[in-house]
Structure 1
Amino acid sequence: MSASHRLARPALFALALGLSSAAIAQTPPPPAPPAAGRPAEPRRLAVTGEGQAFRAPDLALVQLTVMRQGETAQKALADNSAAMSAVQGALPEFGLEARDVQTSGFTIAPQYRYDTASDGTQAPPTLVGYEVRNTITLRVRAVDRLGEILDRAVSLGVNDGGSIEFVAEDPSALQNEARRTAVERARASAEAMAGAAGLRLGALLSIEDGASGIEPPRPVSEMRMMAAPASPKVPVAAGETMASATVRVVFALEN
């Protein structure tokens, strides 16, 4: 056998061995087996519930105004102060304390007369006096006596527009009642939906408080109080204060 033949055989063997190793190196590894024991995502049901709560208001916010006019600012102010002092002096008879009475408006304004000359031209305005308005805001807790308070206030000198707004003194209690109703309705809806799907309602996973608020009865707008004989009792209807709440609740679902 020639020397060239003796050298060729080992070279061919080495080449074959190299190709085999490359083929083994390029073969992709088998996929990893799935992880054992991984819990499946629980089935969930999200629902929204709305609730309302109603209660008779236990607080009235009342605005009363005394208006007086005089030839001078001092005269108008003196007359106004005398009338307002009489009004405030009578308030303790109805259970109102100093903390329940607040001055919420006070103005002194000149009053002018505008004359037109015979030729149609406008004459300069003439100062004829002054007008003083003093407004107080009352927090009346004895809502059932509000008519008596208005009657007495008019008889003592209140003679200009005012307003009444009925509210809940502790709105949080009414708001929480509305939230409880909203949660109960959300659970009832979830149970009905789960039952229709052939499933059972599981654990409560989350709960979120949504939109909520207090809606008082509409204010009695702009009462016109004129200096007229007082009635035995001014009729007042308080109505109801309403609280509303919305909740979003998520439950787990079970077979």
Structure 2
Amino acid sequence: MRSATLPAAAAAIMMAGCAAPAANAADSADAPRTISVSGEGRAAAAPDMAVISIGVQSEAPTAAAALRQNSADMSATIKKLKDLGIAAKDIQTSGLSVSPRYNYEKNRSQPEVIGFTASNSVTVRLRDLSDAGSVIDQAVQSGANNLGGVSFSFSEPKPLYDEARRNAVADAKSKASLLTDAAGVRLGKLLYIQEGYAQTPQPKMYSARMEMADSAANVPMEAGESEVNVTVSLVYEIE
């Protein structure tokens, strides 16, 4: 009677399978213990630049007439902005539209077109905040009748972000030290570091429709203080 024997390939597979748990256990034992922490850093300063949206809205019986009037008023507004010393690179068209106006009276199967509205707006960067109120005033007097909003920012934001990054790393390191101390273990070397997000200052927006060009005073503007936020992730070895 012949004794049953396993093929060589099958025996090799069984031997490899038996050895795998021991190898995995060894790898697990060699893997360093780690702690992962995140930190958030903030930095604030007074902004030195404003971004405003200035627009012209015109109404007329026809689309062509509305656009023609709107173009004339916006051209005068842009010329005034340039005359005030604002560079062409700091003036950018941000919106242009022509749309019908309807009369929605009751018992009417189809609304009646009673005219057209043309709108045009430009985004303007003001690099001298002391001129912001005067620029808005002059723009309105030249034909603008719609202020879409204003936001404040920094012409050179890198130093502020660098400060926020340093604060974020310090925050993460402080958390790691506290946690390992509370757990009764020692904090080892830094293994990994990654920046998460860098949040830009949130714009402070307001809007207004200016009905008469001669009704605007020198607009008061307060830039206040803007803040940037940065997060980081650190991974340390636990000794």
The equivalent residue for 2:235 is 250
- Tell me whether 1:108 sits opposite 2:83 in the alignment: no
1:229 partner letter: D
Separation in structure 1 between the aligned mates of residue 33 and residue 104 of structure 2, nearest angstrom: 80
The secondary structure found in structure 2 opposite 1:221 is coil
- Residue correspondence of structure 1 range 33-52 to structure 2 within 5 A: 44-52=34-42
1:163 aligns with one of 124, 144, 149: 149
Q: Which runs of 5+ in 2 are unaligned?
A: 1-29
Alpha carbons 1:46, 1:250 under 8 Å: kept: yes
- Tell me whether 1:216 sits opposite 2:206 in the alignment: no
Q: How many residues align?
A: 211
CA RMSD of aligned residues (A): 3.2
From the superposition, tell whether residues 80 and 201 of structure 1 become closer, same or farther in structure 2 (CA, over 3 Å): same
From the superposition, tell whether residues 231 and 41 of structure 1 become closer, same or farther in structure 2 (CA, over 3 Å): same
1:101 deviates by 1.2
The equivalent residue for 1:61 is 51
Q: Which runs of 5+ in 1 are unaligned?
A: 1-39
Per-residue CA deviations over 1:114-148 (Å, capped at 9, x if unaligned) read 667xxxx5387655443321111112222332111
Q: Report the more deviating stretch, 107-116 or 150-159.
A: 107-116
TM-score (norm 2): 0.71
Alpha carbons 2:198, 2:231 under 8 Å: kept: no
The equivalent residue for 1:88 is 78
> What is the aligned-residue identity percentage?
38
- Tell me whether 1:79 sits opposite 2:69 in the alignment: yes
The equivalent residue for 2:19 is none
Alpha carbons 1:52, 1:243 under 8 Å: kept: yes
Separation in structure 1 between the aligned mates of residue 62 and residue 194 of structure 2, nearest angstrom: 62
TM-score (norm 1): 0.67
The secondary structure found in structure 1 opposite 2:164 is helix
From the superposition, tell whether residues 207 and 172 of structure 1 become closer, same or farther in structure 2 (CA, over 3 Å): same
Q: Report the more deviating stretch, 106-115 or 216-225.
A: 106-115
Q: Report the more deviating stretch, 239-248 or 190-199.
A: 190-199
From the superposition, tell whether residues 153 and 250 of structure 1 become closer, same or farther in structure 2 (CA, over 3 Å): same
The secondary structure found in structure 1 opposite 2:68 is helix
1:185 deviates by 2.1
Q: Which structure has the larger Rg?
A: 1
The secondary structure found in structure 1 opposite 2:218 is coil
Separation in structure 1 between the aligned mates of residue 115 and residue 33 of structure 2, nearest angstrom: 79
1:183 deviates by 0.9
Alpha carbons 1:209, 1:247 under 8 Å: kept: yes
2:82 partner letter: P
Separation in structure 1 between the aligned mates of residue 194 and residue 104 of structure 2, nearest angstrom: 64
Alpha carbons 1:217, 1:239 under 8 Å: kept: no
1:166 deviates by 2.3
The equivalent residue for 1:130 is 116
- Tell me whether 1:178 sits opposite 2:164 in the alignment: yes
1:187 deviates by 2.5
Separation in structure 2 between the aligned mates of residue 115 and residue 154 of structure 1, nearest angstrom: 34
Separation in structure 2 between the aligned mates of residue 161 and residue 243 of structure 1, nearest angstrom: 26
